[in-house]
Chain A
Amino acid sequence: MTRRTPTTDVALIAGFAALIAVCAILPDIKTGIGVPYSLQTFGVLLTGAALGPVRGFLSVLLYLVAGLVLPIYSGGASGISHYSGVTAGYLVAFPIAAALCGYLVYRNRHGATQFTFVFTCGLLSSFLVVHTLGPLNLAWRADLSLKEAFSFDAAYFPGDIAKNVVMALVATAVHRAFPDLAARKRPARVEETSAA
């Protein structure tokens, strides 16, 4: 039976970082209103909900750092230009949003298998973090007023809600399939023996 080991944590962090990369480079989901939705933010929030705050944060961070050299940002782009560019705020928001989503989900471990609970955690995280830092940076770098930037950002709301629905469906399925994913770091007995 799999226990929590440092190597399993590293493999999960790496696996979800690769998953976010795949979500970001998969062809966009076409929508009727002209804004293409990539699955990138789905991957980011799912990582938080599945791995919890610490592993989730590190996984998204790994994805972002790897994206400095690999073309794994949304639409197959790469490079630090994104950090000086108009979308940098969204990228910076991602690890924070994943950590917040993971913190909220892991606070109530029984809730991790409940759709409404996980959906609320995801939606809260994307609105509190992604949809504030993203447009703030957009206003700064693209030289728009805050009002203009926030109304550009609002075009992503419907897609974001849809992505959080799918995220919650998938995350609850994952927690049902792997109930010990959200288990405490180590069983108390092991901690006692290692401390002795």
Chain B
Amino acid sequence: MSAGPLGDYQPGTSVFHRLPVGAKLLGLLVISVVAVAFRGVATTAGLLVLAVLCCAIARVRLGRALRALRGVLVAMTLLAAYQTWQRGAEHAFVVVGALIALLLLATVFTTTTSVERMVDAITRWLGPWRRFGVNPELVALAFSLMIRGIPLTLAIAGETRDAARARGLERNPRAYLTPLVIRVVAHARATGDALHARGLGD
């Protein structure tokens, strides 16, 4: 199992913690475009140095950086091996190195951005869309409902799985997924009714 559902955020006071959410996202986008446009050994080496530097400045713990890489490390190793075999070690370094650098930079983003700031930023960004019928408050509501819904859904998944196991059906995904999804729908409708009764969303 992975990290808790409330994210990688790690409070701190580094430059990256104080930068606006939008600036960080834009920076990542620019770096990612640069990585593709100027593909080469020098670019990849530069990106890797930059990524490690940013991790150090943001005080991303080593364990956290490794955990971010763990999930994709197998895929990266396979890709590196394939590229080395097909096109040589240099090419493998250029392609895989750049991907690892971008992954580390994204980890800097997630460890320095709290869920609250992300939700605030989304509400702010959606402001201009109000005239096209977008309701930023409803969107922010969807976000908070979803974030609170993850631990709840995990708990229901555990319960329905136990129930299926008790009936000897643990190898049958349908036996625990069907009650799980039906409970998710029932809960969502109860939540919707409760919110509606409070006059929200009209």
Of the listed stretches A14-22, A93-101, A103-111, A120-128, name the one at the interface; the rest are far from the partner chain. Answer: A14-22
Indicate the member of A2, A8, A58, A169 with the most B CB atoms within 10 Å.
A8
Contacting B at CB under 8 A, from A127-154, are: 141-143
| Nearest CB on A from B108, distance (A) | 9
Q: List chain A residues, Cβ under 8 A from B5.
A: 21, 25, 70-72
Instruction: Kindly state whether residue B106 has any CB partner on chain A within 8 Å.
Output: yes
Q: List chain B residues, Cβ under 8 A from A21.
A: 5, 146, 150, 153
Are A77 and B181 closer than 8 Å at their CB atoms? no
A22-B157, A81-B103 known; A8+B193 contact, CB < 8 A:
yes
Are B118 and A166 closer than 8 Å at their CB atoms? no
Are B107 and A86 closer than 8 Å at their CB atoms? no
**CB-defined interface of B174-202 with A at 8 Å, one 1/0 digit per residue?**
10011011101101110111011000111
User: Which of B1, B75, B122 interacts with A86 by CB under 8 Å?
Assistant: B75
User: Which of B7, B29, B105, B192 interacts with A71 by CB under 8 Å?
Assistant: B7
Q: List chain B residues, Cβ under 8 A from A80.
A: 25, 28-29, 106, 109
A13-B142, A70-B147, A79-B110 known; A7+B177 contact, CB < 8 A:
no
Whole-angstrom CA separation of A81 from B113 in the bound complex = 15
Whole-angstrom CA separation of A97 from B45 in the bound complex = 37
Q: List chain B residues, Cβ under 8 A from A181.
A: 185
Are B7 and A26 closer than 8 Å at their CB atoms? no
Whole-angstrom CA separation of A77 from B178 in the bound complex = 26
Q: List chain B residues, Cβ under 8 A from A69.
A: 7-9, 109-110, 113, 115, 118
**CB-defined interface of A64-93 with B at 8 Å, one 1/0 digit per residue?**
011011111011111111111110000000
Number of B residues, CB within 8 Å of A: 68
Q: List chain A residues, Cβ under 8 A from B113.
A: 69
Q: List chain A residues, Cβ under 8 A from B200.
A: 7
A6-B202, A84-B32, A84-B102 known; A11+B145 contact, CB < 8 A:
yes
A7-B200, A178-B185 known; A76+B2 contact, CB < 8 A:
yes
A18-B150, A75-B2, A86-B99 known; A11+B181 contact, CB < 8 A:
no
Q: List chain A residues, Cβ under 8 A from B154.
A: 22, 25
Are A14 and B1 closer than 8 Å at their CB atoms? no
Are B105 and A50 closer than 8 Å at their CB atoms? no
Are B173 and A16 closer than 8 Å at their CB atoms? no
**Of all chain A residues, which has the CB nearest B198?**
A7
Contacting B at CB under 8 A, from A7-62, are: 7-19, 21-22, 25-27, 29, 39, 42, 46, 50, 58, 62
| Nearest CB on A from B133, distance (A) | 12
Whole-angstrom CA separation of A75 from B70 in the bound complex = 10
A19-B184, A25-B2 known; A8+B196 contact, CB < 8 A:
yes
User: Which of A26, A27, A70 interacts with B115 by CB under 8 Å?
Assistant: A70
**Of all chain B residues, which has the CB nearest A9?**
B192
Q: List chain B residues, Cβ under 8 A from A177.
A: 182, 185
Are A76 and B3 closer than 8 Å at their CB atoms? yes
Contacting A at CB under 8 A, from B80-99, are: 83, 87, 91, 95, 99
| Nearest CB on A from B173, distance (A) | 5
Other than A80-B29, A82-B106, A173-B178, give 7 A-B pairs with Cβ distance below 8 A. A5-B192, A12-B185, A12-B188, A13-B142, A80-B28, A81-B105, A143-B91
Could you jot down 25 A-B contacts, CB within 8 Å?
A2-B192, A6-B196, A8-B188, A11-B189, A12-B192, A15-B191, A18-B146, A18-B184, A21-B146, A21-B150, A27-B1, A58-B142, A62-B146, A66-B146, A66-B147, A69-B8, A70-B6, A71-B5, A71-B7, A72-B5, A80-B29, A81-B99, A81-B102, A85-B72, A86-B75
